[in-house]
Amino acid sequence: MSIKLNSGHEMPIVGFGCWKVTNETAADQIYNAIKVGYRLFDGAQDYGNEKEVGEGINRAIDEGLVSRDELFVVSKLWNNYHDPKNVETALNKTLSDLNLEYLDLFLIHFPIAFKFVPIEEKYPPGFYCGDGDKFHYENVPLLDTWRALESLVQKGKIRSIGISNFNGGLIYDLVRGAKIKPAVLQIEHHPYLQQPRLIEFVQSQGIAITGYSSFGPQSFLELESKKALDTPTLFDHETIKSIASKHKKSSAQVLLRWATQRGIAVIPKSNNPDRLAQNLNVNDFELSKEDLEAINKLDKGLRFNDPWDWDHIPIFV
């Protein structure tokens, strides 16, 4: 099952998320995910594992398990590379690390322009802006960064471009200046953070949505997020467990189907081969209207990935 993007390309509705996949295991995990049937791989420069992800992809291609054009490979432009003169340099680094000639989708990771840090100084730079642990920013309008991405589509280095962690106002403004409309918006999306107005607006614009952290606090437990530690897991929530029992599915499958049934792509990850297969096969059942209404009642507006927690950056305030 896939989503037809406004760029004309098809994006699988279920993919494998590469966030927090360790360098030691990434190549094998990606290779095994391809063997199971995954074709979308969602990565980012900031994840620091693109070389290993590329090793897994290329091993599968070299062995004939899959061809390059059967895969949908995603990366994201990190905050330090927003200046147009640095965008292609950053993309080239990703393509080199992945050992690929093009990306299927390249997203602006956050609508935040940190000060440029040369790749040879620190890569990925994370929150480093060239001055210890102090944050520094550049005055780069988002449309300038977007224009640079548009030029890389024309060069054939990227097939589709999009955005991540943008709010409605920023999207509303960007689409009015864009020559190439964003193909995808990626957002934190789970029953505790449903964002129905944003989703309605973005889908009305013909922009596809990918939800990350579909399992809510689960994604942030290993980061020792106090917010996540203080929040009941969705896997054990009585509403989710009851719906899962009714459909003879796992809680994870219900959470993923809640998104895909509404046309939202998902990018879960798992180290467990059985769960890897389960997460991929979530489109063979339908949640009822009653199921959907019950899940809708779980919305708390609870966001776990918020730049306000970094340096009081008010994207979502």
pLDDT at position 158 over 90? yes
Euclidean distance between CA atoms 130 and 145, whole angstroms: 21
pLDDT at position 245 over 90? yes
Phi, psi of 94 (to 5 degrees): -65, -45
Q: Which residues, in sequence order, are bridge partners of residue 10? A: 4
Among residues 72, 63, 68, the alpha carbon closest in space to that of 38 is found at 72
Q: In the chain, what percentage of residues exceed pLDDT 70?
A: 100
Separation of CA 195 from chain center: 16
Domain ranges of the chain: 2-227+263-276
pLDDT digits (tens, 9 = 90+) for 100-152: 999 999 999 999 999 999 999 999 999 999 999 999 999 999 999 999 999 99
Best CATH choice for the domain 2-227+263-276 from the list 3.40.50.720, 3.20.20.150, 3.40.30.10, 3.20.20.100: 3.20.20.100
Residue 193: the pLDDT is 98
pLDDT digits (tens, 9 = 90+) for 265-278: 999 988 787 888 89
CA dihedral for 304, 286, 71, 272, sign (positive or negative): positive
Euclidean distance between CA atoms 175 and 184, whole angstroms: 12
Query: Is 190 labeled as ligand-binding?
Result: no
* Long-range contacts of residues 195-201, Cβ cutoff 8 Å, at least 24 apart: 197/168, 198/167, 198/168, 199/262, 199/264, 201/168, 201/171, 201/172
pLDDT digits (tens, 9 = 90+) for 50-82: 999 999 999 999 999 999 999 999 999 999 999
Mean pLDDT of the chain: 96
Euclidean distance between CA atoms 145 and 60, whole angstroms: 33
Residue 157: the pLDDT is 98
Q: Catalytic residue numbers?
A: 47
| Greater model confidence, 231 or 146 | 146
User: Once rounded to an integer, what is the mean pLDDT over residues 172-195?
Assistant: 97
